[in-house]
């Protein structure tokens, strides 16, 4: 599995391209801005993108979705709760113009295959109502739920401080300790490191 991290936009949100190196099939997670940069990386890698996945609906993670969907002609996968806020003007959320409706509404336990890889969806509300994390092999993409030495903000629409801690403890910290954590901003970490050192947990 090849993973390319691309920090994009004013808030340096992490967009990820994940590719099965055997088949070249892949996905894009959180195309938050700088469509041209993401498109160039897709072409450079030679990846055959099958899906676009969105961890949550905030604008810094969704700004390039409409352009990327038009270019790739692939489905966009978002939890229905955040899709609702996108389509109805939620504060800090993307808009129908830059993101639009989900092609596939994703929920807890959904799985998707690309190449020889499988992605599993887990619902982790707290930063937003429809926050999602994605597990592929020994890697979990946590969006703005869990960061290195921190957790996501809960002071925006749909945020809930108790819910985010419950999501992390009940959905993420139960993963194997050597699981790599690739967050929506900043550097990667591991489940073990966050168990031991994250002051919010």
Q: 6-9 long-range CB contacts below 8 Å, 24 or more apart?
A: 6/34, 6/37, 6/38, 6/41, 8/32, 8/33, 8/34, 8/37, 8/38, 8/64, 9/33, 9/34, 9/60, 9/63
Note the pLDDT of residue 117: 98
> Per DSSP, what are the bridge partners of residue 121?
134
Model's pTM, two decimal places?
0.98
57-88 pLDDT tens trace: 999 999 999 999 999 999 999 999 999 999 99
Neighbours of 190 (CB within 10 A): 18
Note the pLDDT of residue 36: 98
Query: Quick one: pLDDT band at residue 32, thresholds 50, 70, 90?
Result: very high
Note the pLDDT of residue 7: 98
Note the pLDDT of residue 15: 98
Note the pLDDT of residue 156: 94
Nearest to 116 by CA among 36, 185, 28, 19: 19
122-177 pLDDT tens trace: 999 999 999 999 999 999 999 999 999 999 999 999 999 999 999 999 999 999 99
Task: Give the CB-side neighbour count of residue 65, counting CA atoms within 13 A.
Answer: 33
The domain segmentation of the chain, as residue ranges, is 2-197
Segment 2-28 mean pLDDT: 98
Distance (Å, rounded) from C-alpha 61 to C-alpha 196? 28
**Angle at which helices 65-72 and 35-45 pack, to 10 degrees?**
40
DSSP 3-state assignment of 17?
Answer: strand
Residue 73, burial from CB neighbour count under 10 angstroms (0-12, 13-18, 19+):
exposed
Note the pLDDT of residue 55: 98
Nearest to 172 by CA among 144, 197, 130, 135: 135
* Fold assignment, 2-197: Metallo-beta-lactamase; Chain A (3.60.15)
Note the pLDDT of residue 157: 94
| Token pair listed for 149 | 């030495």
92-134 pLDDT tens trace: 999 999 999 999 999 999 999 999 999 999 999 999 999 999 9
Note the pLDDT of residue 173: 98
């Amino acid at each position: 599995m090849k993973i390319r991290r691309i920090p994009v936009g004013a808030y340096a949100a992490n967009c990820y391209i994940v590719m099965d190196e055997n088949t070249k099939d892949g996905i894009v997670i959180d195309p938050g801005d700088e469509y041209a940069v993401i498109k160039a990386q897709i072409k450079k890698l030679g990846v055959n993108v099958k899906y676009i996945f969105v961890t949550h609906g905030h604008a810094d993670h969704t700004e390039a979705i409409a352009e990327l969907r038009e270019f790739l002609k692939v489905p966009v996968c978002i939890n229905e709760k955040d899709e609702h806020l996108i389509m109805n003007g939620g504060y800090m959320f993307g808009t129908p113009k830059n993101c639009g409706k989900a092609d596939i509404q994703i929920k807890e336990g959904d799985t998707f295959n690309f190449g020889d890889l499988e992605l599993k969806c887990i619902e982790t509300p707290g930063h937003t109502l429809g926050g999602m994390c994605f597990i592929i092999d020994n890697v979990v993409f946590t969006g703005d739920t869990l960061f290195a030495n921190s957790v996501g903000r809960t002071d925006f629409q749909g945020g809930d401080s108790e819910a985010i801690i419950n999501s992390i403890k009940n959905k993420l910290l139960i993963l194997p300790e050597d699981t790599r954590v690739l967050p929506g901003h900043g550097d990667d970490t591991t489940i073990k490191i966050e168990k031991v050192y994250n002051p919010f947990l």
